[in-house]
């Protein structure tokens, strides 16, 4: 096998824990939820504005909220009656306005193919992607049409499709690549067309070789004259799927501190996003479902589940056999960058790629010791920052002295905390330093 691509420095090799779900194909949730909660804000940007009211009947696929100025619209994911629009628990915002639909039927809008979809201009295609409510499905939930809208004067030459899925436990992207390789290739090529590049690189970690082969085969069946389309197996190494690390692995280009991939002429999109974009462009089908890996030692039957957005976690967990009694922690996303959730009566949102049920005490609950300056965090940091030096200065109350050690550049991959033998919450020390430095700078600018 040729040498695998990867990024330069740092990174870790956490236990992958993918076995429980890697061999399980995507299963639609059954039964369909009797109710969905659709928060008006599931993306980065302004909340959507409801266009339905209490007691309206809606059909799956129908738009129920218009996009806010920098956001995306929202669609009904099941058919039924709209309940009062009010605040509901939200996975990241604690509580937020949500449109609640009680299911009454299995009707669905039809989405006939648009035969001219490949000839759509850039503007038309972006409009369709926005209208479909698509956001980054890899977890960030940034509106996709905005990421594909290049700022004036910016030139790009490479489109990177992110199938790395470097977070432990998660296999939803892997299963989607196996189930829908052609749709993903089509979606990637369409996005490359939108940003005007002819070079597509797909990065997939080498523990998913079947997906590498599936996408390569699919690329042979999808017409793409004039475009190069290369599927590149990458080393299994966290955080291979972080934009910076993936771009470095595939193109050898290093993105400057705190800049976007655009700075080195690259646009990055996740494979699940590519799938949704294809559906939106060819069939005008909005984003209604997503695949969630439901796994971890607390889940009785780990699975990859396709769920309508807004389905409550308790229904999803129920479909996976329920929670074991020793479950102590519930995580949205992967165990490295995912967020802890307090309860099960929360909706699946657009950015939620995994639901982990973990047992036992987590690293943060174990307490921590002093820094023994072993430099494991320095060696693990993919950016070459010094979390050890930042942490001792934050502890000593000298937050503003952390600048030379790179606190501002941290994008919070968590490698430092993972490797620390003293169990120190280094990532949180970095966050404290980062926000303090940011505040200090803004004061300096305004006075």
Partner 1 sequence: MSEPAAVPAPSTFVLAPGPHVRTSESTATIMWTVNAALLPAAAWGALMFGFPALAVIGASILGAVAAEWGAGRMMHARTSVRDGSAVCTGLLLAMTLPPRLPAPAAFLGAVFAILFGKMIFGGLGYNLFNPALIGRAFLMATFPLPMTAGWSPPAKWISHVDAVTTATPLAALRERGIDAALKLAGGPESPLAGLFLGIRPGSIGETSVLLLLAGGAVLLLRRIISLTIPLAVVAGVALVTAPTGHVDLHLLSGGLWLGALFMATDYVTSPTTRNGQIVFGLVIGALTGVIRIYGGYPEGICYAILLANALVPALNLWFKPARPVFAGAPS
Q: What residues numbered 318-347 form the site for partner 1, per CB under 8 A?
A: 318, 321-325, 327-331, 335-344
Residues 277-306 that bind partner 1 (CB under 8 A): 300-301
For helices 271-283 and 181-195, angle between their N-to-C axes, nearest 10 degrees: 80
The verdict on 423 binding partner 1 (CB under 8 A) reads: yes
C-beta separation of 330 from 316 below 8 A:
no
Nearer to partner 1, 328 or 435 (CB): 328
Out of 375, 435, 441, 442, the residue judged to bind partner 1 by CB under 8 A: 375
DSSP letter, residue 48: P
Residues 393-422 that bind partner 1 (CB under 8 A): 404, 406, 414, 417-422
The verdict on 388 binding partner 1 (CB under 8 A) reads: yes
Nearer to partner 1, 104 or 301 (CB): 301
Instruction: State in angstroms the smallest separation of the CB of 247 from partner 1.
Output: 9
Q: How far is CA 24 from CA 31, 174, 331, 355, 416, in A?
A: 19, 10, 20, 15, 32
Beta bridge partners of 347: 312
Out of 364, 403, 436, 437, the residue judged to bind partner 1 by CB under 8 A: 364
Q: Convert residues 144-173 into a mask of x (bound to partner 1 by CB under 8 A) and - (unbound).
A: -----------xxxx---------x-----
Candidates 42-50, 84-92, 218-226, 260-268; binding stretch for partner 1 (CB under 8 A): 260-268
Q: How far is CA 317 from CA 86, 347, 363, in A?
A: 25, 12, 24
The verdict on 435 binding partner 1 (CB under 8 A) reads: no
The verdict on 317 binding partner 1 (CB under 8 A) reads: yes
Rounded Cα gap, residues 9 and 382, in angstroms: 5
Instruction: State in angstroms the smallest separation of the CB of 73 from partner 1.
Output: 31
For helices 209-221 and 172-179, angle between their N-to-C axes, nearest 10 degrees: 30
DSSP letter, residue 402: G
Candidates 9-17, 208-216, 224-232, 438-446; binding stretch for partner 1 (CB under 8 A): 9-17
User: Which residue in 309, 312, 314 sits closest to 350, CA to CA?
Assistant: 309
Sequence-distant (6+) residues with CB within 8 A of 412 are 337, 427, 430, 431
The verdict on 8 binding partner 1 (CB under 8 A) reads: yes
The verdict on 30 binding partner 1 (CB under 8 A) reads: yes
């Amino acid at each position: 096998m040729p040498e695998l691509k990867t990024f330069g420095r740092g990174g870790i090799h956490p236990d992958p824990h993918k076995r429980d779900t890697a061999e399980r194909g995507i299963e639609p949730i059954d039964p369909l939820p009797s109710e969905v909660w659709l928060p008006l804000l599931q993306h980065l940007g302004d909340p959507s504005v409801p266009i339905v009211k209490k007691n309206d009947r809606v059909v799956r696929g129908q738009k129920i909220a218009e996009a806010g100025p920098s956001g995306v619209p929202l669609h009904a994911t099941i058919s039924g009656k709209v309940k009062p629009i009010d605040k509901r628990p939200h996975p990241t915002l604690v509580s937020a306005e949500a449109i609640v639909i009680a299911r009454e039927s299995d009707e669905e809008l039809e989405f006939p193919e648009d035969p001219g979809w490949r000839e759509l201009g850039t503007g038309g295609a972006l409009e369709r992607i926005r209208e479909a409510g698509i956001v980054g499905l890899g977890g960030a939930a940034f509106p996709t049409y905005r990421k594909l809208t290049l700022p004036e004067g910016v030139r790009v030459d490479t489109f990177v499709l992110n199938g790395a899925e470097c977070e432990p436990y998660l296999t939803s992207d892997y299963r989607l690549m196996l189930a829908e390789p052609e749709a993903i290739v089509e979606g990637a090529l369409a996005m490359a067309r939108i940003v005007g590049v002819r070079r597509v690189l797909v990065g997939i970690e080498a523990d998913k070789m079947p997906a590498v082969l599936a996408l390569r085969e699919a690329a042979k069946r999808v017409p793409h004259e004039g475009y190069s389309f290369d599927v590149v197996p990458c080393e299994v190494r966290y955080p291979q799927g972080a934009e910076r690390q993936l771009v470095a692995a595939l193109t050898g280009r290093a993105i400057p501190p705190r800049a976007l991939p655009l700075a080195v002429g690259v646009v990055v999109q996740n494979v699940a996003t590519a799938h949704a974009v294809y559906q939106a462009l060819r069939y005008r089908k909005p984003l209604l479902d997503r695949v969630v890996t439901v796994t971890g030692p607390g889940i009785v039957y780990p699975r990859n589940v396709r769920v309508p957005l807004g389905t409550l976690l308790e229904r999803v967990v129920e479909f996976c056999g329920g929670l074991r009694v020793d479950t102590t922690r519930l995580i949205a996303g992967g165990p490295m960058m995912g967020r802890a959730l307090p309860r099960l009566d929360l909706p699946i949102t657009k950015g939620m790629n995994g639901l982990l049920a973990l047992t036992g005490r987590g690293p943060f609950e174990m307490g921590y010791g002093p820094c023994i300056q072993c430099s494991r965090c320095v060696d693990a940091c993919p950016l070459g920052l010094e979390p050890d030096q930042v942490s001792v200065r934050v502890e000593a109350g000298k937050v503003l002295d952390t600048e030379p050690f790179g606190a501002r550049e941290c994008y919070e991959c968590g490698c430092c905390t993972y490797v620390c033998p003293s169990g120190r919450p280094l990532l949180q020390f970095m966050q404290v330093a980062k926000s303090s430095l940011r505040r200090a700078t803004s004061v300096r600018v305004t006075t």
